[in-house]
Amino acid sequence: MKNNFLEATKGNLVVSCQALPGEPLHSSFIMARMSRAAKQAGAAAIRANSVVDIQAIQDEAHLPMIGLAKVDYDDSPVYITPTMKEMRAVASTGCEVVACDVTGRPRPNGEKLADIVTQMRKEFPNTLLMADTDCIDSVKIANDLNFDIIGTTMHGYTPATDGMNIADDDFAYLKEVIKTAQHPVIAEGKVDRPEKAKRCIELGCHAVVVGGAITRPLQIATGFVNALK
Ligand SMILES: CC(=O)N[C@H](C=O)[C@@H](O)[C@H](O)[C@H](O)COP(=O)(O)O
């Protein structure tokens, strides 16, 4: 029996509340307050990075959550919940969904994504798995490994997709993802206007994740400053 994340988020907004070390708002307390604002606005769920942030947000917002852990390893470019160790730590918080990189690139310590998925299904049968994909080939990997949710998170953030944006050409790439995916699609990555979020749902996405446009004031202020230059 899986949890009710998919029912709770259908057609709805998920707010990503993340600030890495080095970002102005890096703080679990502040991320929890961000989640409070998202909840008051009517968001259905929160996406968050790191066990401490997830726990702070769970205590504050009591909303379903997509959890992840961004960790850099020397031997791999994969940084979103890259190994079984981070998968287990994130799932142990009790968050409804664990998200991880699904880009076909080698993982740290030679770990194999298929083995990680098998192990997660054994240890956390109620937890949903979200594939953070970058391209159609990765969506097919997510299909083959039976991920519960397919996200567009990494589109534009890998060498193969550098500079691309899911909104280009009236979401041509997103339409392709929706056609290919065998599980619900969550649009994520550079959705920076309410109209774009609405379009993602109209096109058939299950839900949409918005991060920086809501929770990264440095990014938002920079947009205004640059517009006045
Ligand atoms: C590529 C990557 O590492 N994305 C991360 C994934 O969790 C976050 O830094 C993003 O903020 C999130 O995906 C939401 O996207 P946006 O902030 O563009 O709305």
**Hey, what domains does the chain have and what are their CATH numbers?**
5-227 (3.20.20.70)
Going through the chain in order, the beta strands assigned E by DSSP cover 12-17, 45-49, 65-68, 97-102, 128-133, 149-151, 185-188, 207-210
Residue 209: how many other CB atoms lie within 10 Å = 27
Atom 1 of ligand 1, nearest CA residue: 154
CA distance 229 to 224: 9
Give the model's pLDDT for residue 2: 85
Atom 15 of ligand 1, nearest CA residue: 189
CA distance 79 to 225: 30
Cβ neighbors of 96 (< 8 A, separation 6 or more) are 3, 4, 5, 45, 64, 65, 66, 127, 128
Give the model's pLDDT for residue 7: 98
pLDDT averaged per 10 residues, the chain (length 229): 93 98 98 98 98 98 98 98 98 98 98 98 98 98 98 98 96 98 98 98 98 98 98
Give the model's pLDDT for residue 162: 97
Residue 108: how many other CB atoms lie within 10 Å = 18
Binding-site residues, ligand 1, Cβ < 6 A = 16, 18, 68, 153-154, 157, 188-191, 209-213
> Alpha-carbon torsion 176, 167, 217, 72, what sign?
positive
CA distance 35 to 58: 9
Ligand 1, residue 20: give the atom nearest the CA.
Answer: 9
CA distance 188 to 45: 13
Atom 9 of ligand 1, nearest CA residue: 18
- Output the CA 92–ligand 1 centroid distance in Å: 22
